[in-house]
Amino acid sequence: MHADDRGVELPERFTDPRREYAALTAGCAAVDLGFRTLVRASGPDRASFLQGMLTCDVATLAPGRLAQGLLLTIQGRVTADVRVLATADVLLLDVDVRARAAMLEALEKLLVADDVELGDPSPAHTAIGVEGPGAAAVLAALGLEAVPPGEHAETRVAGVVARALDASEVRGPGRVLHVAADGAAAVWDALVAAGAEPCGMQAVEARRIEVGVPRIGVDMDGSTLAIELPVEDLISATKGCYLGQEVVARGTARGQVQRRLVGVRFDGGVPARGASLRHAGKDVGRVTSVARARAADAPIGLALVRREHWAPGSELEIDAGRACVAPFPLA
């Protein structure tokens, strides 16, 4: 069962979302990551240029290493979340396809004297996630060696050249495989034959929200400050200057964050994305993501909430009932 996900056709589910969730958290799940794409950054100034643009440390990346960060505006607001893969010749930027155009526009505006070219890899690529504690065993059955934390490597799956990287959409044990688009079906079939359970976005979204992973264009965008999000692991505190760094540093040092993305549990109906959260009749936040926690079989979500009400245990009102701020994981 497929559905349009903000312009990208993705599978909602293959069989039972509960079974798919179980594979994602306790077994091995194959996930269609058709919403992610690669951008190729070449040229002698590629590392120094991106070092000044992204929140992660790019300058220290040796070939075979990767870093995860954000591209911010000068005001510290989020344009894109990016995985940076270093090879001997280029840097590959793994980004949500729906944020690709905004990222390229922002970077190209700041390309002045830097010798850098940004473009698509050839041939066209797509991505497949291999998630869960059983992912390593499934990949080993296909002859893939383990990829150490923070690394990526070129390999082959079912005779198809792939780039495997240490990454997860749900902060779990997993790998992302970037493969040529015309070989994706063969790789998918090989993963399933080796024991991976096909997993749709219903289960992925439930787990993503449970562990508090913000999605670009959903929980964070050009109106969201990086310091309002649980993305501390994507921001280097030691690398020096980058686009938006002054705002991040000032807000972190002074604690002047007025709202925060938090987890919430809902008591009553499931609210729509964008629904208002209130306290004593006054708006104090809004819902950004909603799902049903598979372990608890209850509605949960992510929400941007004002600092006076973001502490775990805070009770808030919604049109559909009540909401309670809760720590991650929400399961």
Question: SS3 for 183-242, per residue?
Answer: HHHHHHHHHHHCCCEEECHHHHHHHHHHHCCCCECCCECCCCEHHHCCCHHHCCCCCCCC
Task: For the chain, give the percent of residues with pLDDT over 90.
Answer: 87
**pLDDT tens profile 96-151:** 999 999 999 999 999 999 999 999 988 888 999 999 999 999 999 999 988 999 99
Is the pLDDT at 294 greater than 80? The verdict is no
Q: pLDDT by residue (tens digit) across 179-196?
A: 999 999 999 999 999 999
CB-based contacts of 220: which residues, under 8 Å, 6+ apart? 78, 81, 214, 229, 261
3-state secondary structure of 254: helix
pLDDT of residue 185: 97
Task: Band the pLDDT of 251: cuts 50, 70, 90.
Answer: confident
Q: How does residue 253 score in pLDDT terms, banded at 50, 70 and 90? A: confident
Instruction: Calculate the average pLDDT of the chain.
Output: 95
Q: How confident is the model at residue 25 (pLDDT cuts 50, 70, 90)?
A: very high
Question: Distances from the Cα of 197 to the Cαs of 23, 200, 203, 206, in angstroms?
Answer: 6, 10, 12, 16
Structure tokens of 320?
């559909």
Mean pLDDT (whole number) for 265-273: 89
CA distance 256 to 247: 10
3-state secondary structure 49-72: HHHCCECCCCCCCCCCEEEEEEEE
Give the per-residue pLDDT at 254.
76
Task: State yes or no: pLDDT of 66 exceeds 80.
Answer: yes
CA–centroid distance for 6 within its chain: 15
**Encoded tokens for 291:** 């799902």
CA distance 138 to 74: 43
What integer pLDDT is reported at residue 3 of this predicted model?
Answer: 85
- Scanning the structure block, which residue is given the tokens 């775990």? 312
The yes-or-no verdict on residue 255 having pLDDT over 80 is: no
Q: What is the pTM of this model?
A: 0.95
Class level of CATH domain 258-331: mainly beta
Which residue intervals of the chain are DSSP H helices?
A: 17-26, 46-51, 97-110, 135-141, 184-193, 201-211, 245-254
Over range 70-79, report the average pLDDT. 98
| Position 240 confidence tier, pLDDT thresholds 50, 70, 90 | confident
Q: Which CATH class for the 2-206 domain?
A: alpha beta
Q: Which of 103-107, 164-168, 268-272, 282-286 has the lowest mean pLDDT?
A: 268-272
Structure confidence by residue, pLDDT tens digits, 152-177: 999 999 999 999 999 999 999 999 99
Cis status of the peptide bond prior to 123, with omega within 30 of 0: yes
Residue 282 backbone dihedrals phi, psi, to 5 degrees: -105, 135
Q: Where are the domains of the chain?
A: 2-206, 258-331
Residue 87's pLDDT is 97
Q: Of 179, 139, 138, which is closest to residue 161 (Cα–Cα)?
A: 179
Residue 282, pLDDT above cutoff 90? yes
